[in-house]
């Protein structure tokens, strides 16, 4: 579904990623972890075509043709929940959702519709006429996730989806992601909540200074205190 091979990327003449290898299989959930400034968001931006590859290859849904336009990548089936939410603050909840609707591919999973998103996030149903700017931070994050789902993505990518949220809202977001996983939704997630990631994800990758320094499943991650201390600061 998504495969990064020896990916190198950066900003201007500088490199941030040095030979990233990572794969997300259909129906799986993969986490990308690391301290701040280690290249997680740069990896996401490179996957989305917002940064050009300096070396290596990215295969999306069996297609490794490069370069790819940002909009082409989104239309191919990648839904992004970006860091900072980036909703349309002057549009209502309904307008934010309906603006992004894209029909599901034929033969794919059940289609995400306006009503189905509101079923997943009942708080949004109560606020469909509210402008994005009038929502709480947690509600804005729910809207950002719902907006990505309205594109009916084959792969959902979330960059720090629970950062800065109240504990009760974080729990609701994690519960929603667990529900998405049971539907077979493929997920790549960046977050700092190691315990929640260990419960949700099947495989984990840790970035340190632009390189993958550890990979493994949840049992290995939970049982390796040295790795968590050395690379994640816990």
Rounded CA-CA distance 156/154 in Å is 7
pLDDT for the residue numbered 67:
54
pLDDT for the residue numbered 202:
96
Closest among 139, 36, 126 to 85, alpha carbons compared: 139
Contact 149, 81 (CB under 8 A): no
Rounded CA-CA distance 156/184 in Å is 11
Q: Set out the domains of the chain in order of their start, with CATH numbers.
A: 2-232 (3.40.50.300)
Asked whether the whole model's pTM tops 0.85, one would answer: yes
108 falls in which pLDDT band (50, 70, 90)?
A: low
64 falls in which pLDDT band (50, 70, 90)?
A: confident
Residues of the chain with pLDDT > 90: what percent?
Answer: 82
Partnered with residue 85 across adjacent β-strands are none
Q: Residue 159 above 60 pLDDT?
A: yes
Q: Residue 66 above 70 pLDDT?
A: no
Q: Residue 48 above 60 pLDDT?
A: yes
């Amino acid at each position: 579904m998504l495969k990064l091979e020896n990916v190198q990327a950066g900003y201007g003449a500088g490199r941030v990623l040095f030979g990233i290898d990572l794969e997300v299989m259909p129906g799986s959930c993969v986490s990308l972890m690391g301290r701040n400034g280690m290249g997680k968001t740069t990896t996401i931006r490179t996957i989305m075509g917002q940064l050009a590859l300096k070396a290596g290859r990215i295969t999306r849904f069996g297609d490794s043709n490069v370069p790819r336009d940002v909009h082409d990548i989104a239309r191919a089936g990648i839904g992004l929940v970006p860091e900072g939410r980036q909703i349309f603050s002057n549009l209502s909840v309904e307008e934010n959702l309906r603006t992004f609707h894209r029909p599901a591919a034929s033969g794919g999973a059940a289609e995400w519709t306006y009503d189905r998103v509101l079923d997943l996030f009942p708080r949004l149903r109560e606020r469909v006429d509210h402008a994005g700017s009038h929502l709480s931070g947690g509600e804005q994050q729910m809207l950002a996730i719902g907006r990505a789902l309205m594109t009916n993505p084959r792969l959902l990518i979330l960059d720090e989806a629970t950062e800065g949220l109240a504990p009760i809202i974080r729990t609701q977001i994690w519960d929603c992601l667990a529900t998405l996983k049971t539907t077979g939704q493929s997920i790549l997630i960046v977050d700092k909540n190691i315990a929640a990631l260990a419960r949700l994800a099947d495989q984990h990758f840790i970035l340190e200074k632009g390189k993958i320094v550890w990979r493994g499943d949840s049992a290995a991650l939970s049982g390796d205190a040295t790795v968590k201390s050395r690379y994640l600061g816990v």
